[in-house]
Amino acid sequence: MLRILIRLLTPLSLGVQFTAIAAFTTMAASAPVPDDIAGEVQAHVNGKIISFPSLKTDVTADIQGDLAAVTVVQTFINPTSQPLNATYLFPLNKDAAVHAMQMQVADEIIEARIAKFADARKTFETAKNEGKAAALLEQKRPNMFTQNVANLMPGVPIVVTLKYVQTVPRVDGAYELVVPLVVGPRYHPIQRPNVVARAAGIPIADDAGSTPAAPAANGVWRFSPAPAYPPVNGLTAPPTAVDEDRVSLKVNLTAGVAIEDVTSTTHAIRATGDSNSKTRSLTLAGGRTIDNRDFIVRYTLAGTAIQAGLLAHKDETGGTLSLLIEPPAVSDAATVTPREMIFILDTSGSMNGEPIEASKSFMAQALRMLRSDDYFRIIRFSSSASELSAGPIPATPANLRAAVSFVNDLQANGGTEVLAGLRLAFNNQPLPGTHRMLVFLSDGYVSNEAEILNLVAAGIGNAHTYVLGVGTGVNRYLLAEMAHQGRGFMRIIDPTEKSEEAAVAFAKRLDATLMTDLTIDWGDLAVADVTPAKLPDLFAGDSLRVQARYTKGGEHVINIKGKIRGQEATLPVKLSLPDEATGEDTRAVPLIWARTKIKDYMRILMTPEPLRHGTHSNAAIEDAITKLGLTYHLATQWTSFVAVATKVLNPAPATTQDTDINLPKVKGVGEGAYPPNGKQQPKLPQPQHRLPPQQRAANPFVQTIAQSQHTFGGSSTPEPETLGGLAIIILGLLTAIRRRRVQLA
């Protein structure tokens, strides 16, 4: 084998020396490697040589109406001369029901089996130690997974195929499929007492558990920590360590009516067919792309929107129905109830640049749309939290001018202490005679989702929560669940595209018509395990799927009830449910029901026990989720897929290097959001507020919640006041040293 060594002698700010090695090896004839993957990439990090495997991902989504069956093919390739064990951190849709996995090594194809988390991990480790190729899929969060690959041999690719199903939600009048492609960095705060929950005597969830959801001795539920963030292309990995064409995407659309419009705001696409076609396909215009942002495609169907549509599946386990509900179109007249608007803005380091500017664009529009009888608050948080005033203030011209000035002066620095912002928001009781609305703006780059959702559940009361995700690869799971807890909705702004238009559209939707108090009278139809257990409010242009299990088919009439701006509304729906077994065409229905039921259980787990309805214990919830995962072959917090090859490939597994598949930097996210050299580092104290001197004088009741030291997976630069304070301290020390030297002389 011939090796050519090229050393980069230019000093790098990260203190990492990179070595690019072109390796030429003889590939196994039965396991061909794509022509566009070649070369070995290594990095010298703190004196240790790290090798990076190569990866190709191919995603195909087959959509019928609003149901999607997605296939993800991950090809892991070892271009080095030594065996490797690889770990790949990647996202899937937050609602994905992952029901199958297959591994191919050379000419051997292995169907993965579903097992309890600990059993699957034990099987994988045994195969790893025996020198066998193996793959282990673990869910870290509903939208965050790791693929672990053992004994990846030089010249022998390991191909892992995942299959999942999901519904495609209708958002603002169009169906929207999101294919997440990259996991953003996660900030790790130190666990602190939850002020709101503790005051009510409520135990809180803790994300820092060392094992998946192991009950703590003091009765506080613990969740597995987010995995360590892998090397980042150009930051903690060589700039060429990620292929620019690592991902391919294909979407096949089929509907019973014409598919009128197919668009993507995130990627250039090439689509077949026209607005009269009932089947259309689309691919990336460039063929392949780098996985540094989520892929989003939107499509509309011809004809008027249905108000209720049914899918049903029947097999030996019973029947499952899935009912699509859309709200009626009504007048968009403004409500007469005054509002208490609480704007909570993320100003941490990951929001620096385009994201913070997009947030400011939204705030400018939202402040303009406040009515004269509204009240408002503006809270910003990073490593600490502060707000414009000590409580809600009326939307007078003078207060609005002060608010605009406050927002314009915001800077993005520091950590992401979401809890600090929420605590400040919940410190005040709702203003009597108003409807409280929380508007939360963030990328969601944190690891303590459970603690955040616990606090929202404890403090939200009757308020509505509207969440604006700002970024190209945001934490959709956390943001969507925050919106669900407050019976609101989530929207995304891509700060690298037409962010101002999206910001204006979101601000206008704060007055959107909504259908509240949704219930279903099932009549003579006996149903069980209805999900979602608590029906959310429904907004104009959106849709909701309600799913349930049934035993007796036939013809039934149900009534969907709700309120539109306080006015009672009823929609009778005739259902025709199958009594006989149905075919594979509807097999996704029970899988999606089970996945939604798991989401319901997880929501209960995220709710403080005194606030839960029923007698669900943490242990009972874990058991229920585990049973659903095993019964329906679904990846969950407590069930994993594992596949093991029969042949021993690696004669020396004990000396095999463990390495991560490196990731690209998320588009639009600054370097300050990432951990230097992959290490957690202590954070310098933040100033108590960001108000300029003139505003501090004009707002003497500024509230602040400061935070103690913490650790974090992403780093950030200290704010200007902090740097100034450090400079003063250093100058003082230097002066003292000089004086000491004079005295000694």
Task: Convert the pLDDT of each residue in 581-596 to its tens digit.
Answer: 998 889 999 999 999 9
3-state secondary structure of 87: strand
Q: In the prediction, which pLDDT does 158 show?
A: 98
What domains appear along the chain, each with residue ranges and CATH number?
3-185+228-299+636-660 (2.60.40), 339-511+685-721 (3.40.50.410)
Higher pLDDT, 509 or 399: 399
Q: In the prediction, which pLDDT does 48 show?
A: 61
Q: How does 284-320 read in b/e, with b if 16+ C-beta sit within 10 Å?
A: beeebbbbbbbbbbbbbbeeebeebbebbbbeeeebb
Q: In the prediction, which pLDDT does 685 show?
A: 32
Flag whether pLDDT at 466 surpasses 50.
yes
pTM: 0.83
- Strongest mean pLDDT among 21-30, 470-479, 492-501, 696-705: 470-479
**Rounded alpha-carbon distances, angstroms, from residue 72 to 57, 58, 279, 690:** 7, 6, 22, 45
Q: In the prediction, which pLDDT does 253 show?
A: 96
**Residue 468 banded pLDDT, cuts 50, 70, 90:** very high
Flag whether pLDDT at 623 surpasses 90.
yes
Q: Which residue, 467, 473, 476, is CA-closest to 506?
A: 467
Q: What secondary structure letter does DSSP report for 225?
A: P
* Cross-strand bridge partners of residue 171: 174
Flag whether pLDDT at 617 surpasses 70.
yes
Q: Which residue, 536, 540, 532, 539, is CA-closest to 518?
A: 536
Specify the range with the lowest mean pLDDT, choosing from 220-234, 428-442, 478-492, 576-590: 220-234
Flag whether pLDDT at 708 surpasses 80.
no
Q: In the prediction, which pLDDT does 238 show?
A: 78
Tokens of 84: 């490797």
Q: In the prediction, which pLDDT does 637 show?
A: 94
Specify the range with the lowest mean pLDDT, choosing from 39-53, 114-128, 467-481: 39-53
Backbone angles phi, psi at 338, to 5 degrees: -60, 150
Written as one string, the DSSP assignment of 576-594 is: EE-SSPP-GGGTHHHHHHH
Burial label, 5 (beta-carbon count in 10 A; 0-12, 13-18, 19+): exposed
pLDDT tens readout for residues 243-262: 889 999 999 999 989 999 99
Task: Kindly report the average pLDDT of the chain as a whole number.
Answer: 81
Q: In the prediction, which pLDDT does 102 show?
A: 98
**Residue 727 banded pLDDT, cuts 50, 70, 90:** very low
**Residue 34 banded pLDDT, cuts 50, 70, 90:** very low
Q: In the prediction, which pLDDT does 14 show?
A: 32
The sign of the CA dihedral 528, 489, 181, 232 is negative
Instruction: Say if CB 678 and CB 229 are below 8 A apart.
Output: yes
Q: Which residue, 656, 716, 164, is CA-closest to 413?
A: 716
Integer-rounded Cα Rg, in Å, for the chain is 27
Flag whether pLDDT at 713 surpasses 70.
no
Instruction: Provide the percentage of residues in the chain whose pLDDT is more than 90.
Output: 59
Distance CA 424, CA 701 (A): 13
Average pLDDT over residues 525-534: 94
How close are the terminal C-alpha atoms of the chain, in Å? 66
Average pLDDT over residues 105-125: 97
Average pLDDT over residues 33-57: 60
Q: In the prediction, which pLDDT does 12 show?
A: 30
Q: In the prediction, which pLDDT does 564 show?
A: 82
Average pLDDT over residues 566-570: 84
- Strongest mean pLDDT among 144-153, 506-515, 657-666, 710-719: 144-153
Flag whether pLDDT at 604 surpasses 60.
yes
- Strongest mean pLDDT among 11-25, 511-525, 678-692: 511-525
Q: Which residue, 593, 620, 591, is CA-closest to 605?
A: 620
Instruction: Provide the percentage of residues in the chain whose pLDDT is more than 70.
Output: 77
Q: In the prediction, which pLDDT does 344 show?
A: 98
Average pLDDT over residues 194-200: 44
Flag whether pLDDT at 444 surpasses 60.
yes
**Rounded alpha-carbon distances, angstroms, from residue 717 to 45, 88, 349, 382, 692:** 22, 28, 7, 11, 19
Q: In the prediction, which pLDDT does 554 show?
A: 95
pLDDT tens readout for residues 336-346: 689 999 999 99
Specify the range with the lowest mean pLDDT, choosing from 442-446, 503-507, 549-553, 628-632: 503-507
pLDDT tens readout for residues 389-405: 989 999 999 999 999 99
Higher pLDDT, 44 or 572: 572
Higher pLDDT, 224 or 189: 189
Distance CA 37, CA 17 (A): 23
Average pLDDT over residues 275-291: 95
**Residue 146 banded pLDDT, cuts 50, 70, 90:** very high
Q: In the prediction, which pLDDT does 612 show?
A: 79
CB atoms within 10 A of CB 275: 12
Average pLDDT over residues 163-191: 91
Instruction: Say if CB 575 and CB 556 are below 8 A apart.
Output: yes
Flag whether pLDDT at 78 surpasses 90.
yes
Beta strands 435-442 and 339-346 are parallel
Flag whether pLDDT at 641 surpasses 70.
yes
Average pLDDT over residues 430-453: 94
Average pLDDT over residues 190-206: 46
Q: In the prediction, which pLDDT does 660 show?
A: 92
Instruction: Say if CB 207 and CB 200 are below 8 A apart.
Output: no
Q: Which residue, 422, 411, 336, 407, is CA-closest to 367?
A: 407
